[in-house]
Amino acid sequence: MIRRRIRGSGLDLALNERGDASGPTVILVHGFPDTSAAWEPVARLLSTTFHVVAYDVRGAGGSDAPQKRADYALALLVEDMAAVIDAVSPDEPIHLVAHDWGSIQGWEAVTSDLLAGRIASYTSISGPPLDHAALWARRHRAGNLADLARALRQGLRSWYIALFHLPFLPEIVTQVARAQRMLAATLRQQGRPQKASSPTTRSDDFAHGLQLYRANVLQRFRHPVAGHTETPVQIIVPLKDRYISPELLDGLETWSSVVWRRYVPAGHWIIRTHPTEIAEWVRHVVAFVRDGHEAESLAQARIAPSGTGSGATR
């Protein structure tokens, strides 16, 4: 594995590369409050076939953290992604795979002019476009009882978003993280045993990541605009996701001309629990883009543009 830093949009980003640099490039984008390490099982499997790149988004892991909330805006995250693509695959389009907030960034990227023609395929896991989520919520609030029930179920899953907008929460989390690091350093100096813990950056990453919600959610929910891309999109829907209801991902077939949807009896962190399946499905989409071959399970997952296809496959 090669670890290096590249210049993003006004800050440095940490990334790692593995696999055959002459093969198709697959870029993996993590969500909140993860780092690129969350992709380790999937990256290891994909690297036997592809040039695999995973990077820490701004504010996470080894990448720089902006000081201002506005510097977590989706437009800047897309500029960061463009910088990564320029650095690792300047001459060939890449295949994008993203999870959670990384998936939200991915939708922004494939529908933006900045990366037109640079992304050959997109596999989205557990993350809709923010504009789609806003439009979905508006439709279901004004619908019948069944629609209202769907909106309520999603609202119960999304309760934490309101919490994340409370003032001073990131500052409190950051101070706790600093106190934990100071305590750990003191114990090391005294030679005293310490409990095993997560990496010390995790609490800081959480605090920084809250700004993703604050910089983007309310603004997009006030002024949502539907998007579209010609990039083929594979949507992976974990049926046991505690944060994203499967219904919230309905209607995304209008966002691309080629869409596949796979339902999986898995939870939110499917990239950790089902890496073999994720890697296989990414290979299917890359093969389709490369030579037009559509694996049987991929063909079964294809959704008609009107949304009439079932797309139910495992």
Question: Could you tell me which of 139, 143, 152 has the C-alpha nearest to residue 250?
Answer: 139
pLDDT of residue 27: 98
Question: Could you tell me which of 101, 231, 221, 214 has the C-alpha nearest to residue 167?
Answer: 214
pLDDT of residue 198: 37
- Pick from 194-198, 216-220, 232-236, 248-252 the range whose average pLDDT is largest: 232-236
> Radius of gyration over alpha carbons of the chain, in Å?
20
Mean pLDDT of 27-46: 96
Write the single-letter amino acid at 123: T
Structure tokens at 128: 């809709």
Q: What is the pLDDT of residues 74-115, one digit of tens each?
A: 999 999 999 999 999 999 999 999 999 999 999 999 999 999
For 170, the enclosing helix (H) or strand (E) is helix 169-189
**8 Å CB contact between 29 and 106:** yes
Write the single-letter amino acid at 99: H
Question: Could you tell me which of 103, 35, 28, 50 has the C-alpha nearest to residue 255?
Answer: 103
Residue 176: exposure state from Cβ atoms within 10 A (0-12, 13-18, ≥19): middle
Beta bridge partners of 256: 229
